[in-house]
Copies of this chain bind each other. A is one copy, B any other.
């Protein structure tokens, strides 16, 4: 192999609203690499295969003065996040050439040399596409699974409301809830996603942009659990129609990520009135408790076709900016993954 370009997706500028590809995220083509000869200094060289595009990334594209659970991206440097890479060369005894590595802080560039192997895990593929390991078997699937197990206190016959139910996290929550014998009310922002949530087993599935969430939840007799990915108006509706001692699993608030002036619920007093329990969910904090169980249970179910999922695959590292925008606006129609290289 000779010297090749090494494309990198750079965090160039802090957006105030939606991400503009080419402005807030740029593609740098200036770097080159010689995969055969690049110095490893005891580290290892990987080629990026798959990059995950997730809503939380928008939260890291912020000014460093704003604190949050996860550090901000560094301006002028590549984005990083969940991804799969294959090892081309290694001077680290724990990492073998040909290994497929899973990483939550993979740099969004075509080739990388790393020294520290602690953020990487070699994957044993049960015979499904690698892309699933950043989707239904990756962080989004784990988020749904851990959150549901830890906080739902689900009882057969109860009713759960799931927002972004056509998405990577929500669609698995729908299926986990149905497997536990619950009634599922699902909301999504496009007819396609509404249809997918119904395919996943939702008893009621509606487009929150067309139908009124309050009307639906009132008609269906209220809820015992809300799995929240959006915050804002739908959270307000869920609070309004929560039964006594209902559980709220707060996974994300997509309605505010791109809108600093977003609507905030006015009826927090419902927490007192109905003795609600509201739990913030961070997937990586629950990994020690549930990850082994997850990898015992879920890859098999996926391989056996017992779990539905939807991927939207785009090709080429240069599509990262557009993909982040699509996830922000909801224009995507499945878990978005970027295939950087086919190996």
**A269 close to chain B: CB less than 8 A:** yes
Q: Scan residues 271-287 of chain A and give those whose CB is less than 8 A from a CB of chain B.
A: 271-282, 285
Cβ of A280: which chain B residues have Cβ within 8 Å of it?
Answer: 270-277
- Docked CA distance A268–B280 (Å): 10
Cβ of A252: which chain B residues have Cβ within 8 Å of it?
Answer: 272
The size bracket of the interface on A is 20 to 34
Could you give, for residues 231-257 of chain A, a 1 whenever the CB lies within 8 Å of some chain B CB and a 0 otherwise? 100010000000010000011110010
Asked if B251 contacts A269 (CB within 8 A), the reply is: no
Which are the 4 A-B pairs with shortest beta-carbon distances? A278-B278, A69-B273, A275-B280, A271-B280
Number of this chain's copies in the assembly equals 2
Asked if B272 contacts A250 (CB within 8 A), the reply is: yes
Cβ of A69: which chain B residues have Cβ within 8 Å of it?
Answer: 244, 272-275
Q: Scan residues 13-46 of chain A and give those whose CB is less than 8 A from a CB of chain B.
A: none
**A68 close to chain B: CB less than 8 A:** yes
**A98 close to chain B: CB less than 8 A:** no
Cβ of A244: which chain B residues have Cβ within 8 Å of it?
Answer: 69
Asked if A281 contacts B277 (CB within 8 A), the reply is: no
Asked if B269 contacts A253 (CB within 8 A), the reply is: yes
Interface centre among A69, A251, A274, A280, by most B CB within 10 Å?
Answer: A280
The residue that A272 contacts in the complex, of B251, B270, B275, with Cβ under 8 A, is B251
**A264 close to chain B: CB less than 8 A:** yes
Cβ of A268: which chain B residues have Cβ within 8 Å of it?
Answer: 231, 235, 250, 253, 264-265
